[in-house]
Structure 1
């Protein structure tokens, strides 16, 4: 009886309890092992994410710098040592917008031009020890022409590393300050440099922790001994460990196990519920991690400002669709915003960002089915397929019309920009690089045609572009050699006695294969390429040499408004005259363009300085520009030159009346008057009767070489003949 009761007790209580305990124990051990493995995987992923984040920070800081260092204005203001501009655009702005702790601008010899710091900051020598090796290495790369690492997203090379600044670890990045348009040429390795510093032990760990949901992320010099925390070393390129980031890791397995443990203790019946709860929680945690991964993948393939695809994603999709295109047409459109830089300069970068997002919204609304990407500051690409590809020209026209509508910015401001569009169409399989190259060439032609229009790629465009690039290369070589750009001199004769009154210096390009190239071709090209200052320097050098050799003559030079608007131009001219021992009264400057928008005051200051030194001014081609009469009021001119177009048609009553009005106005202002393009005796007689002071033209003399000028000045009095 006792044995039976013991057996029943065993069967009813002990065995179920033992089995339940065994099952619960095995399940608990299994769950515990699984939880540890999950925690290990999660912790490994978090370590990888922290390491990746620090690595991306180096790239991100360098990318942040390019918003201010690849900029014509930055080059000019760094050269001019405009500290106020530098503070606004590369110091305080970089801190406010990107959170950089320190910003420096260095000269080519690595001396400090400007410094911005959020606090007293490290000692100068500690800071210098941190950035000088990077700056020196960057200058060596720049001087050697190294472009490794540059691409459509990275516009200039740079050097960045994790280093100690004094006793504080930091990310230090050095970038050259270069031209975004290519118009400002700098000797490689001699560019001014921009240094950005972001401390690792400041508020950066808190920002990273907040953004990526790391609990209590901190920096320390030594690895933490707290087993409840994870850590990763911060290692420089040279392998030096600067310190550690440590945090309380998220352990999804342990959290779940703790939540299910009470249910396991209560009874076996809770096993299924506990397992279900465990599975559900794991699934939710996994879903969250998968969502985070998907978000990271999206960020890697899309533009952060507009949400559009980025260049890499666009090229990948274009390549894939071209491979499967068969005989279907695909069209690629390159869209470049017109006058966007003016909006940035006028309203600031935040307004520019706002405008970019509004442009993206309009493009999405107009082309809901197309793949649209932002590939640069104000550049977009569009992929059209099917029927849209067939009518790419109509869509290009719609884009221009859409973006021509004014944009309402914040504060009641309005911006009117416009767009230039290049179109390339492919039938069947085509290399994506070739198709995008064709669209880029078409965009170049649309901009050359006056902007706010579109162009469709044709084979002739490639040939014209290559010809233009060859001419650009030849002009760079001509300017560098200093030989091909020659100066000729056209005499100006006095109507009183018929003698030579002065000479006008004219630049001519003697191309080794094409012969003389007209200034009407190469002078605008030099202005676009940023070489006009070098051309002007060559002409001024030749003029000073002639003035020194012939003390009795005066010479006029044609100066681009771009030159007169550059800081320090007056000082360069006055210094060149002084070095050649030339009296400034013997030099006259002829302006051939309308006045610029002189917001910086450089133009007016240069004119005032030159006039104070004794240089006189003439307004060339008078009467042809819409601002000619206002220029006489703005510039305290000494002479006006009546344009050849009026002299040619002196026999017409209207033109003769215009010439009479110009002469009367000049007389009232006390200005000297020179008539250009005199080719007949009738013109000469009429101009003399109207009261001109001097004449210039082929009737009297063609432009002369330097040797011919010597013969004319030193020889017997006679009318010059072209040589």
Structure 2
């Protein structure tokens, strides 16, 4: 009976409890397993999709980065000038070729002239013959043609604060390797160099997408076994991303083994799920928690990418894009009476830090300077790095012009404190320009323009200073631009520029020993413009190189038959710091047939004091040819009588300010006598400038001065009037003895002309 009862009871338990429980357990486990499998599959899909997106973003970023890298050297006045310079091959290689490879990782670099002919080539880690461009010409030519067409038509689509010029790029096959090919025009950064649209020289850059690029992508983004493939076949379990050309067709594919977090987790917890339902639930919870952590990590990665898109990688400050966004928001939120202040600054002598200590030291200086800016500003202010050593502070906390000036003064003082770079103390400065909104209609571009104008004024004022924008600065900038434009035009057409010559008279016998060449500009509208006005503009814009060459050619042509010892020509420090200056002078002397010993270059003392520089190399080379040097304006500026014996010049010129001071209580006679005595002690001749009275003449003669120069003897004359003086041999013979008023008769001879010019 018990057994019979037990049998139905066990059966009933099995049928009513065990079987349903087992079925429920199996169902629950099946549902759990299905859910887990679904979750794992979705996780794998999301991860692979994100990896696809990451690869696409990186490829797109590298295309824009290559173009951005090119703009760092193609939007540059020097580049426009040097690519057209027949002797600029070394400059092009350093700045447009090998440097682009070493600093930005570009594999190819080419420069094309206005006719699309290669003038420079860099490939395989070294400079190549321009004919090497043939390897990429078929791929490059359509891009160049398209770009020239857009530039010539005035197309500006795509140009922004971050993209300065038009460009063209595509994915191409270079020597059997996939590459990004980018073309950028070489244009002026200041707008001062006039170029015909579409005729610009072109810079071509290429970077391979396999090899080092693929390895870096695999390393930086944890993409296992990443490689490039020309065909679309994917190995089992692999993933691929198409590299699409501009025509929408794939060039090839990036193939990798994707990371599958869901599958990894599922394989680990599967055996446990088969044994214990509770363990499966715990594992499921753990899996969900793991998936949650994975999602959080991916979200953090996305946030970091967004942060990097709006911040400078080196300093962590806002970049141009983020600054523009904050600027627009500040303008939109501005309340009545609020004033936005934009402070634009760049570091003085930063290039010297990079050149002497290296770019890592320069980067460290930028980071430390960025930290100082952060400490000076509040969280409500926007501090941005907008260029190599250019920074911007946007604030509304400065309520008055005086507050702005106080902030700028504090900023300059902060910058003057030494920077400790790897145990070396470095001193730099900052030039600052500030502008405030004056009307509610003021926009971002206008405020930037005003701050830039103020910054330029600070640089012209001697650097390490600040300027608060004033409308009068616009007028000064306009006058300067007009003067620069007219000076460029004067160089292109004959008649406006002319060289005058002022005689150098031997003090002991009154004979003519030489001449000083002085440039004169007869503007067709403004009349005569003083060299003191246009020479600084020429030096700032780089026109001094062309202007100096023009003057030297003119002098060599006009004075070739004059029976004098020397003809003196002023040399600017800008010219002396040009590495091609000595070669240019030598070429002109040879072409015009002028003996180097007849040329005397007048330069300042600072040029003689340069050590281990291009300036010193130029002086040494020219001295070796036989060119003479004279120390101009001695006794002014930073001149030191105690260092006179260290200066290897043949002559020195006593500044006119000392001669004009004769007869006053300033002791100028004693100063001039000391200069003459010291010069004689070291074997140098002396020339006194600005001799205007017979009293000055007689006193200088008594002091032992070798040569005299000034209006008393002769004003600067054009070449056609010099023949009279040379035929006479002396000033007295040519023009007569001094008259009763103490002036040479040349003043009567030319009395109809008001003598308003002064020697340069």
Structure 1 length-normalised TM: 0.85
Q: 1:592 to 1:125 in 2, by over 3 A?
A: closer
Partner of 1:363: 373
1:656 aligns with 2:669: yes
Partner of 1:503: 515
Shift of 1:536: 0.9
- The CA distance in 2 between the partners of 1:603 and 1:150, in whole Å, is 39
1:244 aligns with 2:261: no
- The CA distance in 1 between the partners of 2:43 and 2:658, in whole Å, is 89
1:717 aligns with 2:734: yes
Match of 1:404 among 402, 416, 437: 416
Match of 2:319 among 310, 321, 325: 310
Shift of 1:17: 4.3
Match of 1:331 among 326, 341, 348: 341
Aligned runs of 1:175-254 on 2, under 5 Å?
198-237=207-246, 241-254=250-263
Secondary structure of 2:734's counterpart equals coil
Shift of 1:415: 0.6
Q: 1:303 to 1:493 in 2, by over 3 A?
A: same
Partner of 2:174: 165
Q: Deviations over 1:2-34 (max 9, x none)?
A: 999877654434445445555654565565455
Aligned runs of 1:20-35 on 2, under 5 Å?
21-22=26-27, 25=30, 28-29=33-34, 32-33=37-38, 35=40
Secondary structure of 2:518's counterpart equals strand
Partner of 2:295: 286
Partner of 1:349: 359
Are 2:644 and 2:678, in contact at CA under 8 Å, matched by a contact in 1? no
- The CA distance in 2 between the partners of 1:280 and 1:545, in whole Å, is 88
Shift of 1:229: 0.6
Q: 1:250 to 1:531 in 2, by over 3 A?
A: same
Aligned runs of 1:376-387 on 2, under 5 Å?
376-386=387-397
Q: Deviations over 1:400-437 (max 9, x none)?
A: 22221111111x21111122222223378442332233
Shift of 1:302: 0.6
Shift of 1:671: 3.7
Partner of 2:434: 423
1:704 aligns with 2:724: no
1:372 aligns with 2:383: yes
Shift of 1:163: 3.2
Aligned runs of 1:475-490 on 2, under 5 Å?
475-481=487-493, 483-490=495-502
Secondary structure of 1:219's counterpart equals strand
Shift of 1:225: 3.0
Are 2:121 and 2:132, in contact at CA under 8 Å, matched by a contact in 1? no
Match of 1:44 among 49, 56, 77: 49
Secondary structure of 2:717's counterpart equals coil
Q: 1:462 to 1:132 in 2, by over 3 A?
A: farther
1:695 aligns with 2:701: no
Aligned runs of 1:499-538 on 2, under 5 Å?
499-538=511-550
- The CA distance in 2 between the partners of 1:451 and 1:136, in whole Å, is 46
Are 1:81 and 1:113, in contact at CA under 8 Å, matched by a contact in 2? no
| Structure 1: stretches of 5+ with no match in the other structure | none
Q: 1:83 to 1:426 in 2, by over 3 A?
A: closer
- The CA distance in 2 between the partners of 1:64 and 1:597, in whole Å, is 37
Shift of 1:339: 1.6
Are 2:651 and 2:687, in contact at CA under 8 Å, matched by a contact in 1? yes
1:440 aligns with 2:445: no
Q: 1:18 to 1:123 in 2, by over 3 A?
A: farther
1:567 aligns with 2:566: no
1:12 aligns with 2:52: no
Q: 1:404 to 1:627 in 2, by over 3 A?
A: same
Are 2:110 and 2:133, in contact at CA under 8 Å, matched by a contact in 1? no
Shift of 1:211: 1.2
Shift of 1:299: 0.4
Shift of 1:701: 2.3
- The CA distance in 2 between the partners of 1:546 and 1:593, in whole Å, is 29
Secondary structure of 1:698's counterpart equals coil
Q: 1:33 to 1:700 in 2, by over 3 A?
A: same
- The CA distance in 2 between the partners of 1:631 and 1:596, in whole Å, is 11
Match of 1:461 among 473, 498, 506: 473
Are 2:172 and 2:179, in contact at CA under 8 Å, matched by a contact in 1? yes
- The CA distance in 1 between the partners of 2:470 and 2:95, in whole Å, is 45
- The CA distance in 1 between the partners of 2:406 and 2:168, in whole Å, is 46
- The CA distance in 2 between the partners of 1:137 and 1:502, in whole Å, is 58
Q: 1:130 to 1:34 in 2, by over 3 A?
A: same
Q: Deviations over 1:33-83 (max 9, x none)?
A: 555455334323321210221221233344456667778999999976786
Q: Deviations over 1:593-634 (max 9, x none)?
A: 531664555434433444444433332223224336578645
The alignment covers a number of residue pairs equal to 718
- The CA distance in 2 between the partners of 1:123 and 1:576, in whole Å, is 29
Are 2:240 and 2:256, in contact at CA under 8 Å, matched by a contact in 1? yes
Partner of 1:579: 591
* Stretch of structure 1 that moved more, 271-280 or 162-171: 271-280
- The CA distance in 1 between the partners of 2:438 and 2:628, in whole Å, is 62
Match of 2:118 among 110, 124, 127: 110
Match of 1:686 among 699, 710, 716: 699
- The CA distance in 1 between the partners of 2:412 and 2:352, in whole Å, is 18
Shift of 1:519: 0.9
Secondary structure of 2:118's counterpart equals coil
Partner of 1:675: 688
- The CA distance in 1 between the partners of 2:91 and 2:604, in whole Å, is 33
Q: Deviations over 1:324-357 (max 9, x none)?
A: 1212333222232122111111101000001111
Shift of 1:84: 11
Q: Deviations over 1:459-488 (max 9, x none)?
A: 323333333333333333333445433222
- The CA distance in 2 between the partners of 1:550 and 1:671, in whole Å, is 24
Shift of 1:635: 5.4
Q: Deviations over 1:194-225 (max 9, x none)?
A: 76654333232232122112222222232333
Partner of 2:135: 129
- The CA distance in 2 between the partners of 1:266 and 1:616, in whole Å, is 100
- The CA distance in 2 between the partners of 1:605 and 1:143, in whole Å, is 41
Partner of 2:656: 644
Q: 1:432 to 1:572 in 2, by over 3 A?
A: closer
Structure 2 length-normalised TM: 0.81
Shift of 1:644: 1.2
Shift of 1:547: 1.8
* Stretch of structure 1 that moved more, 418-427 or 349-358: 418-427
Q: 1:596 to 1:553 in 2, by over 3 A?
A: closer
Q: CA RMSD in A?
A: 4.2
- The CA distance in 2 between the partners of 1:224 and 1:405, in whole Å, is 61
Q: 1:84 to 1:610 in 2, by over 3 A?
A: closer
Q: 1:609 to 1:209 in 2, by over 3 A?
A: closer
Secondary structure of 1:329's counterpart equals coil
- The CA distance in 2 between the partners of 1:698 and 1:136, in whole Å, is 65
